[in-house]
Amino acid sequence: MIFDFVFQFSIYFCKIKNQKSKIENKMLLTSFLSLRITDVIDVLFVAYLLYKSYMLTKDTVAINIFIAIFGIFLFWLLVKALNMQLTGAILQQVFSVGAIALVVLFQPEIRRFLVNLGTKYRTRHKWRFEKLFTSDKDLVPDVKIKSIAKACFHMSESKTGALIVITRATSLRVYAETGDVIDANTSSRLLENIFFKNSPLHDGAVIVEKDRIHAARCILPVSESRNLPPNLGLRHRAAVGATENTDALAIIVSEETGHISIADHGVIYENLSKNELTQRLEKSLTKD
């Protein structure tokens, strides 16, 4: 009698479970068929954010933190799917408080992303908000390319180390405050005198803003990129670091080899000839 009751109850439970599974499968199929355009946009937007996050951190130490956080997030999704309430509640609190910690940990990467986003907007759009109050002449730096190129090649011949950072859209006043403000007209002789090895201003970077040498002996952030060749010193790493955090253009003259390099948007181009240097400067600094 008891075994018959258990058997009948088991059959009834299995029928209910099968009906529930069919309902869930039908609901899943219905939700899949009712896929909206906004859902596709949502998935593509999240995929784009993940891709940009990876590209910004792949060459730095932060890539390890990014992978660890992504792994914890996947584990949290698994915990929610398995309905593990205690573990899920703990991870929920970690993620809610950890948002502030992420901003602190990824501050350089977030800053770089926002700078690149703003720079692309300002360079690709002919109409900008600043044009309501500023003329095109004020927006485009009138850099004396020939004077800078002449000074670089004179210093290259004498193997005088130099680091020149040219301002574009993003202001470099934060870095200029770490050095000595000069605010003088750009000339090849002045640049050569600044980087002369016995000069008190030769150690550090020179910041050029429009047609003037704004400051000298400036301290720049050093890049943490792992893709830089090991033979490059701190001068080259500082140039790359400045172009990673801003849209500035950096010119480096090696003290050991005399080779001239350019750093632009975190990428360094080594051993440039006179024509290559002039062409890159004109392409990067001249308004189309």
Gap between the Cα atoms of 175 and 166, Å rounded = 12
Domain positions in the chain: 35-110, 140-285
Higher pLDDT, 240 or 231: 240
Pick the range with the lowest mean pLDDT from 71-80, 215-224, 268-277. Answer: 71-80
Burial class of residue 114, CB neighbours in 10 A (0-12, 13-18, 19+): exposed
> How does pLDDT run across 245-273, given as a tens digit for each residue?
788 899 999 998 899 999 998 889 998 98
Spatial neighbors of 153 by CB under 8 A, at least 6 apart, are: 260, 274, 277
- What percentage of residues in the chain have a pLDDT greater than 70? 67
Q: Which pLDDT belongs to residue 126? A: 47
Q: Indicate the pTM of the whole model.
A: 0.60
Residue 57: pLDDT band by 50, 70, 90 thresholds?
low
Of all residues in the chain, what percent carry a pLDDT higher than 90?
22
Asked if 243 and 266 touch (Cβ cutoff 8 Å), the reply is yes
Q: How many CA atoms lie within 13 A of 191 on its CB side?
A: 35
User: According to the model, what pLDDT value does residue 23 have?
Assistant: 56
Mean per-residue pLDDT, 117-130:
50
pLDDT at res. 133: 47
- Per-residue confidence (pLDDT) for residue 166, from 0 to 100: 92
Tens-digit pLDDT profile for residues 94-104 = 777 766 776 77
State the pLDDT at residue 100: 73
Tell me what the pLDDT averaged over the chain comes to: 76
Q: Residue 121 corresponds to which amino acid?
A: Y
| Residue range 37-52: mean pLDDT, rounded | 79
Nearest residue to 208 via CA among 254, 267, 162, 245: 162
In tens, the pLDDT along 222-236 reads: 887 777 888 888 899
Terminus-to-terminus CA distance in the chain, angstroms? 93
Helices (H), the chain: 2-33, 37-57, 62-81, 85-105, 107-124, 136-139, 145-157, 173-176, 188-194, 234-245, 274-285
Inform me whether the pLDDT recorded for 7 exceeds 50: no
Q: Which candidate, 162, 225, 219, 227, places its Cα nearest to that of 190?
A: 162
Q: Could you give the CA distance from residue 100 to residue 94 in angstroms, rounded to a whole number?
A: 11
Which fold is adopted by the domain 140-285?
Answer: YojJ-like (1 (3.40.1700)
Q: Are strands 162-166 and 205-209 parallel, antiparallel or unpaired?
A: parallel
How high is the pLDDT of residue 218?
Answer: 93
Q: What per-residue confidence (pLDDT) applies to 160?
A: 92
**Torsion sign (Cα): 254, 259, 261, 267:** negative
**pLDDT value at position 141?**
46
Task: Give the C-alpha separation, 250 to 222, whole Å.
Answer: 13
Q: Angle 151-165-285 (CA atoms, 0-180°, nearest 5)?
A: 85
Query: Based on the number of CB atoms within 10 Å of its own CB, is 98 exposed (0-12), middle (13-18) or buried (19 or more)?
Result: middle
Q: Lowest mean pLDDT: which of 27-36, 38-47, 109-118? A: 27-36
Contacts of 265 (CB under 8 A, 6+ apart): 116, 243, 244, 247
Q: Which two tokens stand for residue 215?
A: 């400051």
Q: Please identify which residue in the block is written with the tokens 């990824």.
A: 106
pLDDT tens by residue, 134-182: 444 444 447 888 899 999 999 999 999 999 999 988 788 888 888 999 9
Q: Distance between CA 67 and CA 202 in Å, rounded?
A: 41
Q: In angstroms, rounded to a whole number, what is the distance separating the alpha carbons of residues 249 and 170?
A: 11
- The amino acid that residue 225 corresponds to is S
